[in-house]
Amino acid sequence: MADTKQQQDNPEAGRRKVLKTGVAMGSLAATASMPFWSQVALGQNETAVPFTDMPDGYTVPPKQAGGIYYQDTTKVEDFYSPNGNFYVIQHYTQPAINEADHSLKVTGLVNNELTLSLADLKRMQKFEIDAGFECGGNSPRLFQGLIGNARWGGVRLVDVLEAAGLDRDGIEVVFYGADKGMEKTRIDSDLQVEQAFGRSMHIDDALNPDIILAYEMNGEALPMFHGAPLRLVVPGWYGVANVKWLSQIHVQDRRFMGRFMGRDYVTLAKRDIGGEERWEERSVTKIRLKSSIIRVSKTGNDHNILGFVLNDGTPLRSVEVSIDGGPWQQAELDPRNSKYSWKLFNYTWRNASAGEHTIVSRVTDVTGEVQATQDEMPEKPTRWENYAQFPRTVRIG
């Protein structure tokens, strides 16, 4: 099942798995001539070249319950982010969940309301999909650290919705986590009410067969920080859509206006709205086309420039790198990249001269959309959806 899906997205995945194993077995040999994607981790004769735009000795704080965790993106070593290294955002405190008692309720405009235990879900057909995502607030400030890429295992959301049977009047599907917090109301600044983390989608979006209710992450039971025992993963959408500690799915006949749809994770930008220039507020949903360089390393006379692309799953046309404002040069894409994974790329920079250099990447998709420079970005005072090109500086010594 899993492999069928993978191979649909990426028909060569099976062949590459074999290829990858072959390369790994040969890893005692010198690594310099191996294609970069055979191992993302630095090879034996490869040394990291520090960025001069990062503070000396840049380190990230440890992962802890209730806190935020981000990756040091210069240390990305694998196509799949190890579970312990995948970023964490949680807006409320850690909910105490006893896995044996936990259930998922499916309620509202359905023919049969359901209460599904984890065991019930595990009896359904298993589905696996690779999906990488970032927080809608990820940015150069943390050197793009609010990011991760994993293989998720669980059941398709559409299978659960079909089991419940959708009523014709439903237009919106709301997902509630078990975590709750006190939220201010608009009625009175002193009035606070306890609400659960909630996000929603239009029913047409929710019926995308790639959406997963995941109980596994990279082949292991879903870790507590990432929503154990069950989370939603909406491939191609910003992280906020991926409701952790999922406890209820509710189908309703009107829009859901909770904090994380209506107030928070709302991008304010000046856009052309059907020929009218308007300040528009839009809930953060699909990942905007973005690439970023995250590491430079040296092997012999060559420098390897590693980066990632994230987007909504639209196929890519190219990823390019420019050095010191020079011509755009094609980067090489990791063959493990799939529709919704992050897409790693490498550019081999030959005979770099000593001194300070500025390097930047840009991605173009098949629709012709080109990643904007900071100057080309719409006027956008909120921090959400920071997808501009990110020039980096390095010193070649």
Ligand X SMILES: Nc1nc2c(c(=O)[nH]1)N[C@H]1C(S)=C(S)[C@@H](COP(=O)(O)O)O[C@H]1N2
Q: Which is nearer to ligand X, 42 or 178 (CB)?
A: 178
Q: Which is nearer to ligand X, 109 or 284 (CB)?
A: 284
Q: Which is nearer to ligand X, 79 or 87 (CB)?
A: 87
The DSSP element (H or E) to which 164 belongs, if any, is helix 157-164
Q: Which is nearer to ligand X, 42 or 222 (CB)?
A: 222
The Cα–Cα gap between 219 and 338 comes to: 18
The DSSP element (H or E) to which 395 belongs, if any, is strand 392-396
Q: In this structure, what are the phi and psi dihedrals at residue 131, rounded to the nearest 5 degrees?
A: -145, 130
Binding site for ligand X (CB under 6 A): 86-92, 135, 148, 177, 179, 197, 226, 239-240, 242-245
In terms of DSSP H, where are the helices of 265-359?
A: none
CB of 273 to Mo ion, least distance (A): 26
Angle between helices 13-25 and 2-9 (to 10 degrees): 100
Task: Give how far the C-alpha of residue 45 lies from the chain's centroid of Cα atoms, to the nearest Å.
Answer: 31
User: Which one of Mo ion, ligand X, none is in contact with 243 (Cβ closer than 5 to 8 A by kind)?
Assistant: ligand X
Single-letter amino acid code for the residue at 3 = D
User: Token pair 């840009």 is at which residue?
Assistant: 362
Single-letter amino acid code for the residue at 153 = G
Q: Which is nearer to Mo ion, 240 or 310 (CB)?
A: 240
**Which of 386, 365, 354 is closest to 314 using CA atoms?**
365
Contact window for Mo ion (CB under 5 A) among 74-82, 86-94, 163-171, 215-223: 86-94
Contact window for Mo ion (CB under 5 A) among 54-62, 70-78, 222-230, 231-239: 231-239
User: Which one of ligand X, Mo ion, none is in contact with 43 (Cβ closer than 5 to 8 A by kind)?
Assistant: none
Residue 271 half-sphere exposure, CB side, CA atoms within 13 Å? 9
Binding mask 117-146 for Mo ion (x = CB under 5 A): ------------------x-----------
**Could you tell me how many residues of this chain bind Mo ion (CB under 5 A)?**
4
DSSP state of 303: E
CB of 385 to ligand X, least distance (A): 13
Instruction: Return the residues of window 32-71 that contact Mo ion according to CB under 5 A.
Output: none
Q: Which is nearer to Mo ion, 89 or 173 (CB)?
A: 89
**Which of 49, 138, 86 is closest to 392 using CA atoms?**
49
Which residues lie near Mo ion (CB under 5 A)?
A: 89, 135, 239-240
